[in-house]
């Protein structure tokens, strides 16, 4: 009897190992431009917790923001109808794995184009120019990056470029990393840290949420946002770039920008 159990558990272990290995192998099948058109629906990964860019309104259940409007325009141009779109929630932590395992067609989620990420995914042209900044409680002694020392408790989100940037600017600093920006902001409000750092675009949204907090100092990095697409789908990248270009030319981009950010894009 004991022998049987051993055999069964061995068999189960082998099955498990095979699923894991198989999962690693087939990454880049479907999901190209053709597949999206066949499906008749664009599946986009966006943030649900970031004011101004992608925020789910708990009352209506709708997701709203700059990234959302840009995605709808893409759907309109690729599929001819801006309602042929499905939004799935991503965080800084989940967006690349979800894109690469085929759950979503593209990521439009305040995502900075970096050399490292380019090894994992393809990016469209820059669709938003942000810069990293600091959010503090009003009256805080920190008024800019020059006031941050290595003993300052700075918080951010796991997987965000802002963590790496601030560690480069202030060697030896400890960053408290949370699962998303909303958790980081809750922790800041509870007094667990001195400042929250990420792209100014996200920080302005938080400051709009709670007037006791303000964005201080000048942006200290350049964060060009791109739309991420699974590697090897150059036709989809091309379609997105064409759509973006068209939106810039006919003024729709400026209109969306002004609607959410409250000013005209600076060239």
Partner 1 sequence: MNTIYASLLGLAGSFILGTIIAVFRITGSKPLNWFGTAYVEFFRNIPLLLVVFLFYLGLPSLGVTLNGFVSGTMGLAVYTSSFIAEAIRAGIMAVPPGQTEAARSSGLSYVQTMIHVILPQAIKLVIPPLSNQFINLVKNSSILSIVAGFDLMYYGDVIATDTFDTINTYLFVAMFYLILTLPLSYGSRVLERKLARHD
Residues at the contact surface with partner 1, assessed by CB under 8 A:
20, 23-24, 92-93, 96-97, 117, 120, 155, 158-159, 176-179, 183, 186-187, 190-192
Q: Minimal distance in Å, beta carbon 144 to partner 1?
A: 24
Closest CA to 106 of 213, 9, 229: 229
Which is nearer to partner 1, 150 or 264 (by Cβ)?
Answer: 150
Which is nearer to partner 1, 191 or 211 (by Cβ)?
Answer: 191
Contacts of 251 (CB under 8 A, 6+ apart): none
Q: Minimal distance in Å, beta carbon 260 to partner 1?
A: 26
Q: Minimal distance in Å, beta carbon 60 to partner 1?
A: 27
Closest CA to 256 of 53, 79, 36, 105: 53
Which is nearer to partner 1, 39 or 93 (by Cβ)?
Answer: 93
Which is nearer to partner 1, 77 or 158 (by Cβ)?
Answer: 158
Q: Minimal distance in Å, beta carbon 230 to partner 1?
A: 13
Read off the tokens for 209: 């949420």
Q: Minimal distance in Å, beta carbon 215 to partner 1?
A: 22
Range 144-170 burial, b when 16+ CB lie within 10 A, else e: ebebbeeebbbbbbeebbbbebbeeeb
Which is nearer to partner 1, 138 or 245 (by Cβ)?
Answer: 138
The DSSP bridge pattern shows strands 128-130 and 223-225 to be antiparallel
Closest CA to 55 of 181, 243, 188: 181
Strand order in the sheet with 42-46: 85-89, 42-46, 106-107, 228-230, 121-123
Which is nearer to partner 1, 73 or 182 (by Cβ)?
Answer: 182
DSSP, res 145: G
């Amino acid at each position: 009897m004991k022998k049987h159990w051993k055999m069964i558990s061995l068999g189960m272990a082998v099955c498990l190992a095979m699923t894991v290995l198989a999962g690693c192998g087939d990454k880049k099948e479907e999901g190209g431009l053709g597949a999206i058109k066949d499906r008749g629906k664009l599946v986009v990964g966006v943030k649900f917790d970031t004011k101004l860019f992608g925020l789910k309104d708990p009352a209506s259940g709708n997701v709203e923001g700059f990234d959302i409007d840009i995605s709808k325009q893409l759907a309109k141009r690729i599929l001819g109808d801006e309602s042929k779109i499905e939004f799935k929630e991503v965080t800084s932590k989940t967006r690349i794995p979800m894109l690469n395992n085929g759950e979503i067609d593209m990521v439009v989620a305040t995502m900075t184009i970096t050399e490292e990420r380019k090894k994992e995914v393809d990016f469209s042209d820059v669709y938003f120019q942000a810069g990293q900044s600091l959010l503090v409680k009003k009256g805080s002694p920190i008024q800019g990056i020059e006031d941050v020392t290595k003993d300052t408790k700075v918080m951010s989100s796991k997987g965000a470029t802002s963590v790496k940037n601030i560690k480069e600017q202030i060697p030896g600093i400890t960053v408290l990393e949370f699962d998303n920006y909303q958790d980081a902001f809750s922790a800041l409000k509870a007094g667990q840290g001195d400042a929250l750092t990420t792209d100014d675009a996200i920080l302005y949204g938080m400051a709009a949420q709670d007037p006791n907090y303000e964005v201080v100092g000048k942006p200290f990095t350049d964060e060009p946002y791109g739309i991420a697409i699974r590697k090897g789908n150059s036709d989809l990248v091309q379609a997105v770039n064409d759509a973006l270009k068209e939106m810039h030319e006919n003024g729709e981009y400026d209109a969306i920008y002004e609607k959410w950010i409250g000013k005209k894009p600076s060239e």
